[in-house]
Structure 1
Amino acid sequence: MSVTRFIGRALLASIFIKNGLDHLQNPEPIVRAARGAEVPEPELAVKANSGVMVGAGALLALGLVPRLSSTALAASLIPTTVIGHPFWDKEGKERAQQQTQFLKNLALLGALLMVTAQD
C-alpha cells in the first residue's frame, strides 16, 4: 500500500473513530434524535452504530479490509446523515448549519465509496 493511500485512509477514518467514541461516551443526544426518528430500540441502535464507527474506522485507518470497513462505514453513514441532519425541517441559520453537515457527510460517503471501489 502506498504511503499516500495509507495516510488518506487514516485521515478519512479519524472522524468516524472520534465520533463513535464520543457517541459511546455521551449517547443521550444521539439516542434522542434516533427516538425522534422512530428508530426501533434507539439505545441499541446508537451503540451498534457507534461500534461500527469505531471498529470499521480503526480497520480502515490500519488499512485492514479497507473495502469491507469502508462499506460498513458508508452503510452506517446514510441513516446517521438523514436522522442527524434533517435540514429540510429547519429554518434560517439552523437550516444552513444542518445542510452544511448533511453535505459534509455526503462528501465523506463519496470518499468511502472511492475506497470501496479501489483496486
Structure 2
Amino acid sequence: MSVTGFIGRALLSSLFIKQGIEHFQDPEPIVRAARGAEVPQPELAVQINSGVMLGAGALMAVGILPRVMGTALATSLIPTTVIGHPFWDKQGKERQQQQVQFFKNLALFGALLYVTSQD
C-alpha cells in the first residue's frame, strides 16, 4: 500500500475510533436517540455500535483486514445515520445541522466503500 493510502485509511479510521471512545464514555445521548427511534435494547445496541466503531476503526487504521473492517464500519453507519440525523423531522437551524451531519455520514460511507474496493 502507498504511504498516502495508509495515511488516508488511518485518518478515516480516526473519526470512528474517537466516536467509539466517546460513546463508551458517555452513552446516554446516543441511548436516548436509540430509544426515541424504538431500537430494541438501546443500551446494548449502543454498546455494540461503539465497539464496532472502536474495534473496526483501530484494526482498519493499522491495516488488519481493512476491507472487512471497512465493511463493518459502513454497515454500522446505516442505522447511525438514519436514527442519529433525521433532518426530515426538524425545522430551521436544527434541520440544517442534522442535514450536514447526515451528508457527512454519506461521505464517510462513500470513503468506506472506496476502502473496501481496494486490493
TM range (shorter): over 0.9
Please name the residue that 2:47 is paired with.
Answer: 47
- Deviation string, structure 1 residues 28-76 (Cα, Å, up to 9, x no partner): 0000000000000000000000000000000111011000000000000
Q: Matches of residues 1-119 of structure 1 in structure 2 within 5 Å?
A: 1-119=1-119
Structure 2 unaligned regions, length at least 5: none
Identity across the alignment (%): 77
Once superposed, which parts of structure 1, at least 4 consecutive aligned residues long, lie more than 3 Å away? none
Task: Tell me by how many angstroms 1:93 deviates.
Answer: 0.5
Corresponding letter in the other structure for 1:107: A
SS in 2 for 1:39: coil
Task: Tell me by how many angstroms 1:21 deviates.
Answer: 0.3
SS in 1 for 2:64: coil
When normalised by structure 2's length, the TM-score is: 0.99
Aligned alpha-carbon RMSD (Å): 0.4
Task: Tell me by how many angstroms 1:79 deviates.
Answer: 0.3
Number of equivalent positions: 119
Corresponding letter in the other structure for 2:100: T
